Chain A
Amino acid sequence: MSDVLVLMKGIEKTFPGVHALKNCDFQLRAGEVHALVGENGAGKSTLMKVLTGVYTKDAGHILYKGQEVEIPNPKAAQDLGIAIIHQELHLMPHLTVAQNIFIGREPRKGARFVLDEKQINKDAQDLLDMMHLDLDPKARVADLTVAKQQMVEIVRALSFNSEVLIMDEPTSMLTGTEIDELFRIIRELRSRGVGIVHISHRMEELKQISDRVTVMRDGRYIATVDTHAVTIDKIISMMVGQEIYETARSLPLETNKVVLEVKSLSRAGVLKDISFQLHRGEILSFAGLVGAGRTEVARSIFGADPFDSGQILVHGNEVQIRTPNDAVKYGIGYLSEDRRRYGVMPTMDVETNIVAAALDKFLGSFGWVNKASSRFAAEAQVNDLRIRTPSLEQRVRYLSGGNQQKVVMAKWLVRDCDILICDEPTRGIDVGAKSEIYKLLNDLAGSGKAIIMISSELPEILRMSHRIIVMCEGQITGELTAAEATQERILQYATRRESIARN
């Protein structure tokens, strides 16, 4: 039970301008689920990338089953039996589910270089069945939702039959039942003696699934503890270094001035008869399971997707929003759910990304960008949101996942919209920054902005919203005030399919 699978000692890793890992230790046993926690940019992903050969360490030792090993590339890690699901999705969108699962080790037939496509599809189907996943092996990955794509990554990693499985925020894009399913699989693997590393910012998951927790802070190893022996608060204080964050509460709503009204928005096969009002100073949450159509509502309002019928009224006037540019003109901002794909320009620096959506604010004479004021604005956001970056010139692709998300958030805050649609605003963001973002949303609402928040985390919805709209399969199935709302009632609406079928 307690034989040590992986031992990392004194790991050092420096990137230009960033000392990402400082004398870091880590130990993983067979048959345990080991949670790795820390704030955004603490070095969790980097440590695991060193273990899986994505990065090479500058110094330190890695012992695998007691033997010192060098892991110069991903292949070497695979050969040792170490598999990883990266924080960023790493799929080939043009290939099918089955082709993605078996990429790099396709079954061959006859001559060594001929693919056995039948076998690939069959093996993939077996894996999917084993995990009770309703996915077509022949479906193109580009046509799947993000959550389904995440499941493909998980299946891929599991299919190696590895002895070590590392999951870098696997749950950040999943909801309720999908997470339960994942945890069921994790428990099964654990009982088979697999050592599992689980990175997550969802603190409640620690107690649910992990046996031990390792905390990292600022690239340093802080401590490893048995999960049942500590409280979540204790872990959080180790993560952030003593300060304790208070969870923000939503303020009472003062006006009922309608700033946005949506009337019977419909899109064949996706959305049906969506109507709601959004008030000044309100935080309106959209709850529901993944695939309920919440993101589709947001994208339609923002002009990113077309709709077949329906009206959108901003401040009482009907408006035609055909492109995101129109939406921005009417003061609507949208924080996309898939930030890495739609939200950042990864090869540009932090400052450019932050001011990108509001460049016209920083134009001086002759259309020159006023460097001083754009720098000032970007700096303010970096401080407010505690974006961890060595400088404003750092390219966004080199920031940690959570910090990239904060950059997108900052972008829309600089833009200063009246109506802000936040799709999963805290996904992949650490506890500290999470409460910063809650506070921020509250402040924004308090200052008269109207906010639509789409979230799959019920505690967050219950804590933050004035009103909650629940969706299921493209339709609104219920609306609750903050006072009425409970976890049970939301879930009840979110799964209420019978009532739709009757309509």
Chain B
Amino acid sequence: MQSEPIAREIEIAKKGSVFHSDATQKLLAFASLIVMFIVFSLASPNFARFNNIVGILLSTAVNGILAVGVSFVIVTGGIDLSIGTVMTLSAVMAGVVITFWRLPIFLGLLAGVATGGLCGFVNGTTIAKMKIPPFISTLGMMMISKGLSLVISGTKPIYFIDTPAFRKIAMGTVFGIPYAVLIFFCSAIVANLILTRTVLGRYTFALGSNEEAARLSGINVDRWKIGVYTLGGMFSGLAGLIMASRLNSAQPALGQGYELEAIAAVVIGGTSLSGGEGSILGTVIGAFIMSVLTNGLRILSIPQEWQTVVIGVIVILAVYMDIIRRQRR
């Protein structure tokens, strides 16, 4: 059958289109990132300065880590709206341990990540065991963690003035590059390995692709789902630490709105909200597109309000391209 002309043509046409569609979105996203970079560099001499580039990298770090974490959840076909405020709660908990209790810094870091993980675990449990839709459970968690941050901190920022080393975590530099940026890249690499090489990653895709099939294959669906949300929460915790270190304080009122920016980055990166596909590289590119755009528009003195409008348009365009790409398949 293979030797027949039409059959072969069909095979080739299929393979061609698959390659085409899978590679394009990432190429397209990457190309638009480059184009944006060039356009902004031409438009303003300040854009391509080393300091500004570092600024872009630094501002991508927090949103990027959040986005990388929530990518896992989105690949399962779920959503996590609580990542922004869980990030804040984690920062507050780090503040409590380090500033209030005067315990060693590393315990504070541990507390931050653990807080994020715990919130994720609760999310996962309500979703998997109590069958509450992810949108609702995580919306609840968003409010809970926001409220807890305010209660625990007494609505006031917690400063890390007595522990100068804490600020080094994000803001220390090698060759002028802040640690925060390196931490972001490292966590993206780790996340990519988890998603593509480990059992957890495989089941993340399986859940998003066909949860019932995964269940019938003997996979303990509930347990892995809880695992995915916990992992996502831990990334939020890490983002909270970077944030706190950058600001040298835990700001309990901050955080809401970050979840939507992170989700936007994931979507721009070509991960489908209906689950089953996505990549960390795409998410990283998506996060960069958002911060390059914000930064570039600011340098061109475009008012903040308009920046938001532009990003909104970009999100819609990105998803639309994804849909067109799928139809052609």
Contacts and interface: CB of A to CB of B under 8 A. Distances in A.
Interface string A52-71: 00100000000000000000
A90 B13 contact: no
B309 interface: no
Given A115-B198, A269-B12, A92 B4 contact: no
A94 B202 contact: no
A364 B217 CA distance: 48
Interface in B249-293: 276-277
A74 B218 contact: yes
B276 A93 contact: yes
Contacts of A202: none
Contacts of B296: none
Interface in B278-317: none
B205 A92 contact: yes
B1 A134 contact: yes
Given A54-B216, A74-B218, A75-B218, A113 B210 contact: no
A93 B12 CA distance: 20
A99 B216 CA distance: 15
A94 B198 contact: no
B216 A473 contact: no
Nearest to A120: B202
Interface in B174-223: 197-202, 205-206, 208-210, 212-220
A312 to B, nearest CB: 22
A104 B218 CA distance: 6
A113 B200 contact: yes
B219 A104 contact: yes
Interface in A440-493: 473-475
A78 interface: yes
A108 interface: yes
B84 to A, nearest CB: 28
Contacts of B218: 73-75, 78, 104-105
Contact of B10 (A90, A103, A140, A270): A270
Contacts of A497: 4
A379 interface: no
Query: Which one of B18, B206, B220 has the greatest number of beta carbons of chain A within 10 Å?
Result: B206
Contacts of B277: 94
B11 to A, nearest CB: 9
B276 A94 contact: yes
Contacts of B18: 140, 143
A130 interface: no
Interface string A91-114: 111110001000111101000011
A115 B4 contact: no
B74 to A, nearest CB: 13
B276 A103 contact: no
A140 B217 CA distance: 18
Contacts of A269: 6, 9-10, 12-13
A500 interface: yes
A86 interface: yes
Contacts, number: 91
Interface string A275-295: 000000000000000010000
A501 interface: yes
Nearest to B212: A90
A104 B199 CA distance: 9
Nearest to B272: A94
A372 interface: no
A93 B210 contact: yes
Contact of A92 (B6, B9, B200, B214): B214
Nearest to A84: B216
A268 interface: yes
Contacts of A268: 9, 13
Contacts of B216: 54, 74, 86, 90
B206 A103 contact: yes
Contact of A134 (B2, B9, B209): B2
A105 B206 CA distance: 13
B45 interface: no
A467 to B, nearest CB: 24
B164 interface: no
Contacts of B5: 500-501
B165 interface: no
Contact of B210 (A91, A143, A501): A91
Interface string B1-28: 1101111011011100010000000000
A92 B209 contact: yes
B276 A473 contact: no
B295 to A, nearest CB: 34
Given A75-B218, A92-B214, A114-B197, A103 B6 contact: no
Contacts of B12: 269
Contacts of A29: none
Contacts of B276: 92-94
A94 B213 CA distance: 12
A212 interface: no
Contact of B219 (A95, A103, A143, A501): A103
A217 interface: no
Query: Which one of A86, A103, A474 has the greatest number of beta carbons of chain B within 10 Å?
Result: A103
A434 interface: no
Contacts of A86: 216
A95 B220 contact: no
Interface in A364-386: none
22 contacts: A74-B215, A74-B217, A75-B220, A90-B216, A90-B217, A91-B213, A92-B205, A93-B209, A94-B205, A94-B208, A94-B209, A95-B205, A103-B214, A105-B218, A106-B199, A108-B199, A114-B197, A134-B2, A140-B18, A143-B18, A270-B10, A475-B6
Interface of B: 1-2, 4-7, 9-10, 12-14, 18, 197-202, 205-206, 208-210, 212-220, 276-277
Given A113-B200, A269-B6, 17 more contacts: A86-B216, A90-B212, A92-B209, A95-B202, A99-B202, A103-B219, A104-B218, A106-B199, A113-B199, A114-B197, A115-B198, A115-B202, A117-B197, A140-B18, A143-B18, A473-B7, A500-B4
